[in-house]
Chain A
Amino acid sequence: MAFFLQNVVNALQWGSFYALIALGYSMVYSILMLFNFAHGDIFMVGAYIGFGVATALISLSAAGAVILPNWVILVLTILFSMFLTAFVGVIVERVGYRPLRNAPLASAAITGLMIGIILETGNLALLGAQRVRFPSLIPTTTYNVGGVFITNEKIMIVVVALVLALGLHQFVRRTKWGMAMRAMAFDSAAVPLMGVPLNTMVALTFAIGSALAAAAGILFGVAYPVLDPYMGIVVGWKAFVAAILGGRGSVIGATLAGFLLGFNEIFVVMIFPSTLRDLIAYSIILLFLTFRPHGFLGEPYSARLRL
């Protein structure tokens, strides 16, 4: 039983990463009907920006300019990096996607793929091939709850992810901006005619998605402190799958699917040898999509056939 619960804890942690990244995919997809294939690499950029901000704050603190406790540094790192990475997302949209707004969607997807490669290579060219270590900001404390080991990092990761996802949900449900986004997802052709600024909304969507990816990147850095330029590939593509599983443009669906993907992977490893993880996890996804092509919470295709 303790073994089972231990895996639940691990699954929750991985699910948090997937959910946060999947939200970015899902939001862009709901408005532009477009997969932002560069999103996994924005996650990577976010982690590196977090690394830079954290290092800068630590050295500031060490130099005695401003004395900050470590947990304040962590909070500031998350906030600053989310802010900075939002700009990266907006720039990617401006350079890569806006010129292709009226082009076939596949062309825009290729552009995204290429931007992803440029981000990876640019990082490699700037920082070199050696991996960097994310500074450890909070000392790890392990709690033993009835044989289940829970670290304070894991609790923080899951809590931050849930707070951000809920915050986004409230933003989309309650605010005027959120209403504009939902309207745009419903009919992206007619809503701009009603006076909703299309470019602003798209930029906002990319900014929010990228900020969430940055948060995921820093949380990832806290849990697995070694960063490398290709870290976005594995995690990012799995989050992409989660976004699809959740159903298009559904905040709750994407979050749920992210956590389910985490559970799927961890429990496959619990039962089978760990090398079979991808094989079985993806086979389940393939089967699922064969029988329910529109995901958990998406609408069936026939409902909105575009003629």
Chain B
Amino acid sequence: MRSVRASFSQVPLVGWLLSALVAVTLEHLVGAPVALALGLPRVPVLFGFLIMFATPTLIPSAILYTLCIYAVPIAGTAWLGTPVTNRLAAELFRLSKVISVAVHLFLLYAVLHLWAELSDYRVLVLRLTMIAIMVTLSLNVINGYMGQFSCSHPGFMALGAYVASVFTVVLFVDDGLFGPAWLPPFLGPFMFPIGLILGGLVASFAALAVAIPSFRTRGDYLAVISLAFMFIVKSLIENLEVVRGPRGLSGQPEWATLPTVFLWTVACVWIVNNFVRSTMGKALNAVRDNETAAEAMTVNTRRTKIVAFLFAAFWAGVAGGLFAHVLGYVNPGTFGIQKLAEVLAMVYFGGLNSVYGAIVGAVSISLLGEALRPLEILKWIVIPLLVILVMIFRPTGLIAFTDLNVTNLIKPKHSPDPGV
């Protein structure tokens, strides 16, 4: 067992990505015949979970399919290809770190794209998961790194979603509400980032309403202020007849495609990771651990709080904008207590104070939510129970307090024996 683990620990990241690429290509080529041969009605969309819960008799076939198409090819290729991929990783690393990162990202995107190409459902789940990663990361900046209990993220998301939606709908859509499009539609995909950034900036500006009271309050009272902020935003949008109030705004053009969401998510992870490892990030930790001591050590706590709130709100706003364009519809009811519970669960499930943790939390809760869909209502008993168990046995979350170090990630894993 230990030797197996040792040999797999030699596989560099690029090796895993290439093996995953092999697996998804395999699924493209032989997925349908294999599924047919195993007696499955169609290719399982989400690793067979949906089929397993729907018809329990098919559980062995679904597991077998996942083993044949994913587990065995990935493990096999990764293991067999270790020497080659290690050399490749070393070459890339020597060439330039930037190129190496770009290659890794390209491979990751290729894997996701090929995997998602088989069904629209996968595309939707992937995009929503990536948006969840952005929201979780940005909330982790406040709740994890700065240690304040903020409940205002659904509000920031709502602002971003509405501003971006109004921007695109007014400029590019012939709509009964805002009249004909102002600009030709071919400009749309280029202007879309501007709309998202605008949404982020508005959310960021509104975050001042939470950041300024947070100077005088510590921890728990901030929870109420941010909660009040969330209700204010929701209620404000419900009262704005310009955007159809509680009935919601629809007709957003479908520009939040998989590559767009992927690029934004990568940008978010990269920038947040750099932010939390900067001097400002260390100041966040100082404010969390002891505000008075931080002040005594010349940390400007006010500035730190403001920057953290504005930064986190910006990314929440961008994520909200993408969310609205993925669904093509947005209403204020989405951004209530339910959303808050979901986002908080992601942050605390994955792990505080860690970029890995945010990614793990967002991915696992979103995928669990989709995989357990056949359980219907019981899904909302199973997922909270899991979160409670994690809280009891690992109170700070699954992967807390770990740094994301890109250099370590893309480095080749040299084997101890130079001959191999």
User: Interface residues, chain A, CB within 8 Å of chain B?
Assistant: 29, 33, 35, 96, 99-100, 103-111, 113-118, 120-122, 124-125, 233, 237, 240-241, 244, 275-279, 282-283, 285-286, 289-290, 293-294, 301, 305, 307
Q: Which of B227, B231, B345, B387 has the most CB of A within 10 A?
A: B231
In Å, the complex CA distance between A132 and B219 comes to 39
Chain A: CB-nearest residue to B341: A113
Other than the given A35-B223, A111-B387, A278-B235, 19 more pairs (CB < 8 A) read A100-B395, A107-B348, A107-B391, A110-B345, A110-B391, A114-B387, A118-B380, A118-B385, A121-B378, A125-B378, A125-B381, A237-B231, A282-B228, A282-B235, A285-B224, A286-B213, A286-B229, A289-B225, A293-B221
Nearest CB in chain B to that of A243: its residue: B224
Q: Which 7 pairs from chain A and chain B are nearest by CB?
A: A103-B395, A114-B384, A279-B235, A278-B235, A121-B380, A290-B213, A107-B395
Distance between Cα atoms of A190 and B221 in the complex (Å): 24
A116's closest neighbor in chain B, by CB? B341
| A111 / chain B contacts, CB cutoff of 8 Å | 387-388, 391-392
Q: Which residues of B contact A104 (CB under 8 A)?
A: 395-396
Given contacts A118-B381, A118-B385, contact A289 B391 (CB under 8 A): no
CB within 8 Å: A-B pair count: 129
Q: How far is the CA of A290 from the CA of B232 in the complex (A)?
A: 15
Q: B residues bordering A, Cβ < 8 Å?
A: 143, 149, 209, 212-213, 216-221, 223-225, 227-229, 231-232, 234-236, 238-239, 290, 292, 337, 341, 344-345, 348, 377-378, 380-381, 384-385, 387-388, 391-392, 395-396
* Contacts known (A35-B223, A113-B345); A276 close to B235, Cβ less than 8 A: yes
Q: Provide the residues of chain A in CB contact with B218, threshold 8 Å.
A: 301
Task: List chain B residues, Cβ under 8 A from A121.
Answer: 377-378, 380-381, 384
- The minimal Cβ–Cβ distance linking B4 to chain A, given in whole angstroms, is 35
29 interchain pairs (CB within 8 A)? A100-B391, A103-B395, A104-B396, A106-B143, A107-B348, A109-B223, A110-B348, A113-B344, A114-B384, A114-B391, A115-B384, A115-B388, A118-B385, A121-B381, A233-B337, A276-B239, A278-B231, A278-B232, A279-B232, A283-B228, A283-B232, A286-B209, A286-B228, A289-B225, A289-B228, A290-B225, A293-B217, A294-B221, A301-B217
Cβ B392 vs Cβ A99 within 8 A? yes
Distance between Cα atoms of A35 and B320 in the complex (Å): 28
Q: Are B290 and A279 in contact (CB under 8 A)?
A: no
Question: Do A237 and B337 contact each other (CB < 8 Å), given the known contacts A35-B223, A279-B232, A286-B232?
Answer: yes
Pick from B220, B238, B387: contact of A35, CB under 8 Å: B220
Asked if A117 contacts B290 (CB within 8 A), the reply is no
B395: chain A residues at CB < 8 Å are 100, 103-104, 107
